Amino acid sequence: MKIRAPRRPIPAFARSILAAGCLAAVSLGCGGPAAAPEASGSGPAKVRIGYLGLTCEAAMFAAYENGYYAEEGLDVEFVKTDWDSLRDGLGLGRFDANYHLIMYLLKPIEKGLDVKLTGGIHSGCLRLQTRTDSDIKTVADVKGKRIGVQTALGSPPFLFTNRVLKAAGMDPAKDVEWVAMASDVLGLALENGQVDAVCNAEPIGSILLSQGKVRTIADSAVDEPYNTEYCCAVVVSGKLAREAPATAAKVTRSLLKGAAWVDANPTAAAKLSVEKKYVASSVDVNAQAISKLKYTPGVVDCRDSVLAASREMKKIGLLDSSTDPAVLARNAWQDLDGVTDEWIKGLEIEQVAGGGPPPPLSAERLAALFADAKDLRILCDGCVSDAGDFCGR
């Protein structure tokens, strides 16, 4: 990707956010799915993008505010929702697109969820950690121990840790005890001996590290093979992919370009997300959180990640015994015209003055920064059901 000097931003057209009552009606199934959007001679294609108000959604917000959707001929409407309504709404065609956690989607796709993954957004946000003074030195040492799970069983930290344990020769269902708990008590539970290890998503892992409470024994951003796999991928409704593939390609390109912009401008992305009230956080906290992720838009590597995740979930026993992981991965993915790694390499992305990586902070300053945050559930932990409480929209 080429980096070029700043240019005047393209004005964003007016956005429409539905009221809470309308969102409830959507999640309850009122009204039925709309026709798949496709551009016509009368104007741009209208597309509904569901969002949660999370830090890791920075690429979709950047795509809007920088005019990438408009450049593709799209008229985008953002709709605030929650995790379950987003996933189910995409499957039913009530939302057209988002980007979502690959491992969070594969089991529903196996069961018939009608969505397609079309491109990779970012990787790296999951960890398995233990106390600094623990006798647990390796993943293998976790056998027979209690693991605190951020938010709930079935969340991405839980799925990641299942993979890690399985790779170490354990049966995740029998060889450890899982304890679900709120994000903000993971550190305390470790200190009190309620659990022996914790699995979490950013920024919780970095907060605990900055406080000197933990050391990491597995990290999806560092350890192979997880460090080369995508965490979040563009997902479009099956209806859109079938009936309006050109529009699906436009949405995907917009989001991938948004990811490239966030990669080049993480601090600017954090500021944009907060000041435009997509995310309820401070700019400093949001910038530190975004910097922990690797926004690297990609196509082939993401398709490979879907297959790898499918195989791993089958090994762990999280998929049906009759499921062929290769078939599941093919069913989950759709190639789109004009959405290629070659296209990504040719992108010219503006670099905003002062918008690059945030300055590194001392452990004490980082801990203080996160301690002052109003809420810590601002990343893709997979089970935020009350996201509306944390966003000003």
What 3-state class would DSSP assign to 89?
helix
Between helices 102-110 and 300-316, what is the axis angle to 10°? 60
Pairing verdict, β 214-219 and 126-131: antiparallel
Express each pLDDT in 141-171 by its tens digit. 999 999 999 767 777 788 889 999 999 999 9
What is the rounded distance in angstroms from the CA atom of residue 117 to the CA atom of residue 332? 6
Pairing verdict, β 2-4 and 348-350: parallel
Query: 343 exposed, middle or buried (CB, 10 Å; 0-12, 13-18, 19+)?
Result: middle
- The helix (run of H) or strand (run of E) holding residue 3 is strand 2-4
Place of tokens 């350890």: 223
What is the rounded distance in angstroms from the CA atom of residue 160 to the CA atom of residue 312? 10
Residue 132: how many other CB atoms lie within 10 Å: 12
Q: What is the DSSP string of 165-209?
A: HHHTT--TTTSSEEEEE-GGGHHHHHHTTS-SEEEEETTHHHHHH
Q: Does 203 sit behind a cis peptide bond, omega within 30 degrees of 0 on the bond before it?
A: yes
Is this structure's pTM higher than 0.75? yes
Give the chain's length.
Answer: 393
Task: Give the CA radius of gyration of the chain.
Answer: 20
What is the rounded distance in angstroms from the CA atom of residue 149 to the CA atom of residue 2? 40
Place of tokens 């409830």: 24
Q: What does the buried/exposed string (b/e) look like for 13-26 if buried means 16 or more CB atoms within 10 Å of the residue's CB? A: eeeeebeeeebeeb
Please name the amino acid found at residue 291.
Answer: S
What is the rounded distance in angstroms from the CA atom of residue 312 to the CA atom of residue 163? 6
- The ranges of the chain with pLDDT < 70 are 1-42, 151, 203, 363, 367, 370-393
What 3-state class would DSSP assign to 98?
strand
Q: What is the pLDDT of residue 289?
A: 81
